[in-house]
Amino acid sequence: MENKDRVTMDCRSKPEAKCSLMISGTENEVLEIAEYHVTTKHAFKKEPGLRDQLRSMLKHESLTR
């Protein structure tokens, strides 16, 4: 069996966002999509530190296959 790690980000963790989107994949994949999502749907500004802020919301999973 092979172990693979992935991360998730769930907008429902921030109820004020009124959003049900959940993203999963590698850390880089999730951060790229999450940055696009929050800047286009939640009016965040793309500025230094945004990815760090998003990174703090990631949840790590370990999958066994």
Q: Between these two residues, 26 and 3, which has the higher pLDDT value?
A: 26
State how far the Cα of 46 lies from the Cα of 3, in Å rounded to an integer.
Answer: 34
Give me the pLDDT at residue 4, please: 62
pLDDT of residue 39: 95
Sheet of 22-25: strand order equals 22-25, 3-10, 59-64
Confidence class for position 65, pLDDT limits 50, 70, 90:
low
Per-residue pLDDT of 8-60, as tens digits, reads 999 998 878 889 999 999 999 999 999 999 999 999 999 999 999 999 999 99
Residue 18 CA, chain-centre distance (Å), reads 16
Closest CA to 22 of 10, 33, 13, 14: 10
Specify which residues 10 forms β-bridges with: 22
Residue extents of the structural domains in the chain: 3-64
Predicted confidence at residue 61, as pLDDT, reads 84
